[in-house]
């Protein structure tokens, strides 16, 4: 054990002498034992976020030391036209509204072409669920991108988009995913999970893909060799039990498949949507949520803070609360969070800025590819 970890350990021992009720949970964490859902709920109710943070940092440093991962990526959002009406969404439009956009294949290839000679390694493609577009329409987009940039990892389509496009093409789930893989799909992003609790899901996104279906899509993807990410949208109507239930369903699936690359908690942002009246969580709450995710999801290698969603400073702070990955350069290519009131209206960081943000937090910046293979240490 290095000095940092050892001093963390001693800080923990000192604190639990004043918090005997947390001793059993702390002992489990320090001896690499899995904590239960009741333990996670107890940690959520703990007022001392510093304590929960130290425990998460202990786990984080045991897994990754000071390494903090990032990648060079950009997003393409082919359309904001969506058949659904999620109450937290600030982004979607109906087909005939002035705010609607849809990029044709030429525009999409122009975007990809604009990265010629730029060493990006990943394109992240997500958007609304367009009523008229099926699997082959999106498959064609993917294969054209692959032809132009065979080196680019294509992480595309949330389970909600996949559910719709596969059904529209009349295919089974497994055949649809296999077909997309043939077109060039490399992995699946974590969107659309929202919160798995049936009652709360009904209140915030009644119409779209159910929790069971989201989990089935990711399980099937893992089975055919497509890795994926997982998310949880928090800070709206859910309570701590709903969050623990969500994390537990992910942990159970990961035990079965080991197909998730990372977990990304997504803080609800309140501007320009139907849940504005609920307000937003505090940064303290956000840090606690990262920390408990790190401790509870012992079978997830990585916890990611998506900086366009929470801002650069909170992402930097999260590196002391269990987070080991802060996503990528983004290059001002996503609107989902800027339209919902996030700090960065044009989210973009140069590699140099990302590295310096990580170094300021006394961590080591590690450029990764989409599967967390290490590319460069800084």
| Sites of contact with ligand V47 (CB under 6 A) | 88-90, 158, 189-192, 194, 229, 231, 233, 264, 266, 268-269, 273, 306, 336, 340
Is the Cα dihedral 195, 199, 205, 209 positive or negative?
A: positive
Q: How far is the CB of 175 from ligand SF4 (least distance, A)?
A: 23
Of 9, 62, 84, 94, the one binding ligand SF4 (CB under 6 A) is: 84
CA distance 211 to 224: 20
Nearer to ligand SF4, 177 or 205 (CB): 205
| Candidate ranges 29-37, 85-93, 261-269, 341-349; the one touching ligand SF4 (CB under 6 A) | 85-93
Distances (CA, A) of 277 to 205, 234, 318: 17, 15, 26
Residue 190 interacts with ligand SF4 (CB under 6 A): yes or no: no
| Candidate ranges 30-38, 88-96, 132-140, 287-295; the one touching ligand SF4 (CB under 6 A) | 88-96
Of 91, 164, 196, 268, the one binding ligand SF4 (CB under 6 A) is: 91
Q: How far is the CB of 59 from ligand SF4 (least distance, A)?
A: 31
Among ligand V47, ligand SF4, none, residue 260 binds (CB under 5-8 Å by kind): none
Nearer to ligand V47, 280 or 298 (CB): 280
Distances (CA, A) of 340 to 28, 66, 84, 159, 297: 39, 32, 17, 21, 28
Residue 321 interacts with ligand SF4 (CB under 6 A): yes or no: no
Among ligand V47, ligand SF4, none, residue 185 binds (CB under 5-8 Å by kind): none
Specify the long-range contacts of residues 19-27, CB closer than 8 Å, at least 24 apart.
19/48, 19/51, 22/46, 22/51, 26/55
* Cβ atoms within 10 Å, residue 8: 21
Residue 92 interacts with ligand SF4 (CB under 6 A): yes or no: yes
With b meaning 16 or more CB within 10 Å and e meaning fewer, what string describes 52-78? Answer: bbbbbbbbbbebbebbbbbbbbbbbbb
Among ligand V47, ligand SF4, none, residue 307 binds (CB under 5-8 Å by kind): none
| Residue closest to ligand V47 (Cβ) | 191
CA distance 4 to 7: 5
Contacts of 17 by beta carbon, 8 Å cutoff, 6+ apart? none
List binders of ligand SF4 among 122-161 (CB under 6 A).
Answer: 128-129, 160
């Amino acid at each position: 054990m290095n000095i940092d970890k050892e001093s963390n350990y001693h800080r923990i021992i000192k604190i639990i002498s004043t918090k005997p009720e947390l001793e059993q949970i702390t002992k489990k964490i320090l001896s690499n034992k899995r904590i239960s859902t009741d333990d996670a709920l107890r940690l959520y109710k703990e007022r001392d976020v510093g304590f929960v943070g130290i425990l998460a940092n202990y786990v984080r440093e045991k897994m990754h030391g000071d390494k903090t991962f990032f990648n060079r990526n950009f997003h393409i959002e082919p359309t904001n036209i969506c058949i659904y009406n999620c109450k937290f969404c600030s982004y979607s439009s109906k087909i005939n509204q002035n705010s609607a956009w849809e990029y044709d294949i030429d525009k999409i290839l122009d975007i990809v072409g604009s990265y010629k000679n730029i060493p990006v390694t990943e394109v992240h493609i997500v958007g609304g669920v367009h009523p008229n577009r099926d699997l082959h329409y999106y498959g064609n987009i993917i294969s054209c991108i692959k032809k132009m940039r065979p080196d680019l990892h294509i992480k595309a389509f949330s389970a909600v988009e996949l559910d719709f496009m596969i059904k529209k093409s009349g295919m089974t789930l497994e055949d649809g995913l296999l077909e997309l893989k043939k077109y060039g799909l490399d992995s699946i992003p974590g969107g659309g999970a929202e919160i798995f609790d049936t009652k709360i899901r009904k209140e915030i996104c009644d119409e779209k893909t159910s929790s069971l279906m989201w989990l089935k899509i990711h399980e099937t993807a893992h089975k055919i060799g497509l890795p994926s990410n997982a998310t949880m949208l928090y800070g709206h109507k859910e309570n701590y039990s709903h969050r623990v239930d969500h994390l537990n369903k992910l942990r159970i699936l990961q035990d079965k498949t080991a197909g998730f690359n990372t977990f990304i908690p997504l803080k609800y942002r309140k501007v320009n949507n139907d849940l504005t009246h609920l307000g937003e969580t505090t940064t303290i709450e956000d840090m606690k949520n990262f920390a408990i995710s790190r401790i509870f999801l012992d079978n997830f290698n990585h916890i990611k803070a998506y900086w366009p969603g929470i801002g650069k400073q909170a992402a930097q702070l999260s590196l002391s609360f269990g987070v080991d990955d802060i996503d990528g350069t983004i290059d001002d290519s996503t609107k989902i969070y800027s339209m919902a009131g996030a700090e960065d209206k044009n989210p973009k960081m140069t590699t140099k800025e990302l590295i310096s943000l990580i170094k300021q937090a006394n961590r080591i910046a590690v450029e990764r590819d989409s599967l967390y293979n290490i590319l460069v240490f800084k």
